[in-house]
Structure 1
Amino acid sequence: MSTIGIRGTFFDFVDDPWKHLGKEQEAARFHQDGLLVVTDGIIREFGAYDTLAAAHPGIAITHIKDRIIVPGFIDGHIHLPQTRVLGAYGEQLLPWLQMSIYPEEIKYKDRNYAREGVKRFLDALLAAGTTTCQAFTSSSPVATEELFEEAGRRNMRVISGLTGIDRNAPADFIDTPENFYRDSKRLIAQYHNKGRNLYAITPRFAFGASPDLLKACQRLKQEHPDCWVNTHISENPAECRGVLIEHPDCQDYLGVYEKFGLVGPKFSGGHGVYLTNSEFRRMSKSGAAVVFCPCSNLFLGSGLFRLGRATDPEHRVKMSFGTDMGGGNRFSMLNVLDDAYKVGMCNNTMLDGSIDPVRMDVAEAERNKLSPYRGFWSVTLGGAEGLYIDDKLGNFQPGKEADFVALDVNAGPLAQAWHQSLIAEDGRPHTVEQAANLLFSVMMVGDDRCVDETWVMGKRLYKKN
């Protein structure tokens, strides 16, 4: 056994800040001078340095100075084979897929290309402070194999699976439901729960899935109930109309997945921009999760996700945040928080009565406002809860995996350090409120240059030059 200590300033969460209206700091935990004791990649103890250090004489301690250490970021929705084409110009979802995305994803049939793409993908995640992701691969098993293999070598927590699509895509990209089922069975046996890999049964979206493909997904879920289900839902108006044409016996998008028994715990639907109130309530009741992807929703012109509706305490929906790279034009969850805040503020204005008094809903308007507590909870412990992996990671609770990020709150744009001196003259937080305010500036003014170090299972895998 190998035991190490990490000393520094720590900030994490023990509860959901949306449950603590007006007192969100009660959901957070802050140690100005803390100690994280890690044995073989698992957190053994966590608390104040002065309290714990004496109980662990002789252990090697790495002191990370002048940084705020937070749990590793969790990206709930991202596309491995779009790494090279992020930021493709000028189209909404469906033509963008045809023009820019499918031609690139087809290349991942080639193992050498897929292998290089995977390495670049995981390098970019670590540089952005992301230690866990739920990722789409491609319709070829090669991409899934290479992702799980490389993630295993780095000991990263990854949820992924073969992406199923059998219509509304190029002929050389789609595959049959029979092949999808056969290849998925093999991949589940080979990778699910092997190391830190977790398998997601992955119909790309209902617009690209025939009833037979969704029946194959249903059969896989019945045979492997501990697997995840990862897909898209209600992203774009043209897509939503197309889904009901493809599946005319269903009344709404969620109903397609419900028909085939896919909706429930461990189900993630990315985007959810056009989910109805009924769909939100049904997702809440079933334990399904939605993934908020603001960067992509804005970049592709898809629309504004109703964050305040998803966080309705009467029908709360589990939720993680995602970059949706390459629809999202950044790898960084900090950029996700930046755009999520702006989406929330637009929603807030539309609901506060200043535009249309008839639509006024003061409580929902407030729930759209993304404070630093709500934001950083959403990309750490909240994201873990949304993906049903909060028993494994998401905060610094003993027994969990030691994935974390050291943030330089003064890095990023040239103006950042001077701005931060308004909050803490010496640039260091002394209270939980100061830490939260510094982190808000990281998410709104900073960028991935604020990520100084990224650690996975107690080992540093990234250090900014």
Structure 2
Amino acid sequence: MIQQLLLGQTLAFSGDPLDRDWSDVTRHNSNGGVLVQDDRIIAVGNGDVLQRDYPQATVTHYGDALISAGFVDAHMHYPQTGIIASWGKQLIDWLNTYTFPEEARFGDKAYADGAAGRTLDLALAHGTTTLTSFCTIHPQSVDAFFEAAALRNMAVVAGKTCMDRNAPDALRDTAQSSYDDSKSLLARWHGKGRANYAITPRFSPTSTPEQLHALGALWAEYPDCLMQTHLSEQLPEIAWVRGLFPDARDYLDTYEECGLLGAKGLYGHAIHLEPREIERLQEVGAAVIHCPTSNTFIGSGLFDLMRLAQAGLRIGLATDTGGGSSFSMLRTMAAAYEIGQLRGVALHPAQLMWLATEGSARALHMEGQIGHLGAGAMADITILDLESTPAIAQRVNNANDVWDAVFPTIMMGDDRAIKDVWVAGRRVQRAN
């Protein structure tokens, strides 16, 4: 039994600050402590009290740094790490010009291994302790990602991306092979260690109805699994879907008719939703995933976060790398704030931090396990230096309260703000 006591400022949540007044559900302690035993958090409270009650614990002092749950990225593409920040395309051209040529390389297991390890290390360097990733059509790309995550003891969600049309020949499978490969990978990885499998049709335009039905049937066999896909990202995409599925009521209906709408569904982007789609997503308890840097970088539109939150949807936050332009969940929070401003809503720092931790964990149906600074959760913890650069420090010197001190790091912070990261009770990275 190994006990570690982390001392500093702590930030935790007892509820959803998008649903209730943020001040009612936010717990900040300027003299806080987090007690970790082996791989779990066993207590969060006053640092002096915890130090008195657990004198045998090894103490790490973080001073005025902020101890938070590790960030949870609810939607990204690890095979696109190598093409992040590519210039000048919107969705369909982006896929054809950058994404598909890069993904074709993942039939080489060694190449996939390198990309997986690099992606996970970049995530950790930015304070992200859980990734939810699309892989490629190649089963070895899935193995590479889960193997790299297991080496780091990270909780991850991933699945083989399935496409049987409107993609290059080298990136197409079939309805049957997508079912067979996904089922085999699910059996090999789901629930093994900290791995969680997600059934993964890329999106309706690259899957025939036959493939969507096959994956819907697989989900019905394994309803405890997540299912991840894309929904209503760009207007030309929606028009494309309308032409491919002329009998569908809307974009969401292309999934619903094939058994791919459910409580454990993760629907990335979800910018241009119809009222019926919002109602159905809420009725089944599905999650929509906000990808703000991607939505602006490739010109998709402005996600209506507060409208969807008020409708009762689960909402996660995500980098969507490589369409997203940063590996940092801090930059992702900043972009969410900026998009909120354009929508007429100034999101509070507490709401942004909740989205990047508890909110994304809730979207993944892993609330209380990850993204949570509380007893019983896995000890995935990120420590933020609130004065990581001169520009941030000079603003913090004029702060009136903790939120004045946290907000500049959200808006201007990067990997330099990550003082330390703990995964499953193990310290894995320290800032230089």
1:431 corresponds in structure 2 to none
Give the CA deviation at 1:158. 0.2
Deviations along 1:102-132, one digit per CA (max 9) or x if unpaired, are 0001111101101110111001100111001
Q: Which amino acid aligns with 2:406?
A: L
1:303 corresponds in structure 2 to 301
Q: How does 1:114-133 map to 2 (within 5 A)?
A: 114-133=112-131
1:74 corresponds in structure 2 to 72
Q: Provide the C-alpha distance between the structure 1 equivalents of 2:12 and 2:404, rounded to a whole number of angstroms.
A: 14
Q: How does 1:175-324 map to 2 (within 5 A)?
A: 175-312=173-310, 315-324=311-320
Q: Provide the C-alpha distance between the structure 1 equivalents of 2:37 and 2:87, rounded to a whole number of angstroms.
A: 47
Q: Provide the C-alpha distance between the structure 2 equivalents of 1:418 and 1:397, rounded to a whole number of angstroms.
A: 32
2:15 corresponds in structure 1 to 15
Q: Provide the C-alpha distance between the structure 1 equivalents of 2:306 and 2:9, rounded to a whole number of angstroms.
A: 31
Whether the aligned pair in 1 keeps the contact of 2:213 and 2:259 (CA below 8 Å) is: no
Which blocks of at least 5 consecutive residues in structure 1 are unaligned?
349-367, 425-433
Give the CA deviation at 1:53. 2.2
1:337 aligns with 2:313: no
Q: Provide the C-alpha distance between the structure 2 equivalents of 1:407 and 1:256, rounded to a whole number of angstroms.
A: 42
2:426 corresponds in structure 1 to 459
Aligned mate of 1:139, from 137, 140, 148: 137
Q: Which amino acid aligns with 1:70?
A: S
Q: Which amino acid aligns with 1:94?
A: I
Q: Provide the C-alpha distance between the structure 2 equivalents of 1:168 and 1:446, rounded to a whole number of angstroms.
A: 39
Q: Which amino acid aligns with 2:159?
A: G
Q: Which amino acid aligns with 1:195?
A: G
1:357 corresponds in structure 2 to none
Q: Provide the C-alpha distance between the structure 1 equivalents of 2:48 and 2:334, rounded to a whole number of angstroms.
A: 36
For residue 277 of structure 2, give the secondary structure of its aligned residue in structure 1. Answer: helix
Deviates more, 1:303-312 or 1:136-145: 303-312
Give the CA deviation at 1:340. 0.9
Deviations along 1:156-186, one digit per CA (max 9) or x if unpaired, are 0101111111111111111111111111111
1:392 corresponds in structure 2 to 369
Q: Provide the C-alpha distance between the structure 2 equivalents of 1:256 and 1:185, rounded to a whole number of angstroms.
A: 22
Q: Which amino acid aligns with 2:272?
A: Y
Whether the aligned pair in 1 keeps the contact of 2:179 and 2:215 (CA below 8 Å) is: yes
1:43 aligns with 2:41: yes
Whether the aligned pair in 2 keeps the contact of 1:266 and 1:387 (CA below 8 Å) is: yes
Q: Provide the C-alpha distance between the structure 1 equivalents of 2:52 and 2:116, rounded to a whole number of angstroms.
A: 43
Q: Provide the C-alpha distance between the structure 2 equivalents of 1:207 and 1:143, rounded to a whole number of angstroms.
A: 22
Deviates more, 1:336-345 or 1:435-444: 435-444
Q: Provide the C-alpha distance between the structure 2 equivalents of 1:448 and 1:254, rounded to a whole number of angstroms.
A: 37
Whether the aligned pair in 1 keeps the contact of 2:264 and 2:287 (CA below 8 Å) is: yes
Q: Which amino acid aligns with 2:337?
A: Y
Q: Which amino acid aligns with 2:396?
A: Q
Moved segments of 4+, more than 4 Å: none
Q: Provide the C-alpha distance between the structure 1 equivalents of 2:37 and 2:247, rounded to a whole number of angstroms.
A: 54
Q: Provide the C-alpha distance between the structure 2 equivalents of 1:461 and 1:183, rounded to a whole number of angstroms.
A: 33
What TM-score, normalized to structure 2? 0.98
Q: Provide the C-alpha distance between the structure 2 equivalents of 1:60 and 1:402, rounded to a whole number of angstroms.
A: 15
For residue 225 of structure 1, give the secondary structure of its aligned residue in structure 2. Answer: coil
Q: Provide the C-alpha distance between the structure 1 equivalents of 2:50 and 2:341, rounded to a whole number of angstroms.
A: 42
Whether the aligned pair in 2 keeps the contact of 1:3 and 1:59 (CA below 8 Å) is: yes
Task: Give the aligned CA root-mean-square deviation in angstroms.
Answer: 1.2
Q: Which amino acid aligns with 2:405?
A: L
Q: Provide the C-alpha distance between the structure 2 equivalents of 1:392 and 1:308, rounded to a whole number of angstroms.
A: 25
Q: Provide the C-alpha distance between the structure 1 equivalents of 2:372 and 2:404, rounded to a whole number of angstroms.
A: 19
Whether the aligned pair in 2 keeps the contact of 1:166 and 1:209 (CA below 8 Å) is: yes
Q: How does 1:426-465 map to 2 (within 5 A)?
A: 434-465=401-432
Q: Provide the C-alpha distance between the structure 1 equivalents of 2:194 and 2:25, rounded to a whole number of angstroms.
A: 28
Q: Provide the C-alpha distance between the structure 1 equivalents of 2:372 and 2:402, rounded to a whole number of angstroms.
A: 16
Q: How does 1:358-397 map to 2 (within 5 A)?
A: 368-397=345-374
Q: Provide the C-alpha distance between the structure 1 equivalents of 2:276 and 2:217, rounded to a whole number of angstroms.
A: 27
Whether the aligned pair in 1 keeps the contact of 2:66 and 2:383 (CA below 8 Å) is: yes
Deviations along 1:176-203, one digit per CA (max 9) or x if unpaired, are 1111111111111111000000010000
For residue 44 of structure 1, give the secondary structure of its aligned residue in structure 2. Answer: strand
Deviations along 1:180-237, one digit per CA (max 9) or x if unpaired, are 1111111111110000000100000111111111111111111111100000000011
Give the CA deviation at 1:277. 2.1
Give the CA deviation at 1:95. 0.8
- Seq. identity, %: 38
Give the CA deviation at 1:383. 1.2
Q: How does 1:58-69 map to 2 (within 5 A)?
A: 58-69=56-67
Q: Provide the C-alpha distance between the structure 1 equivalents of 2:81 and 2:382, rounded to a whole number of angstroms.
A: 22
Deviates more, 1:54-63 or 1:231-240: 54-63
Give the CA deviation at 1:5. 1.7
For residue 347 of structure 2, give the secondary structure of its aligned residue in structure 1. Answer: coil
1:416 corresponds in structure 2 to 392
Aligned mate of 2:32, from 24, 31, 34: 34
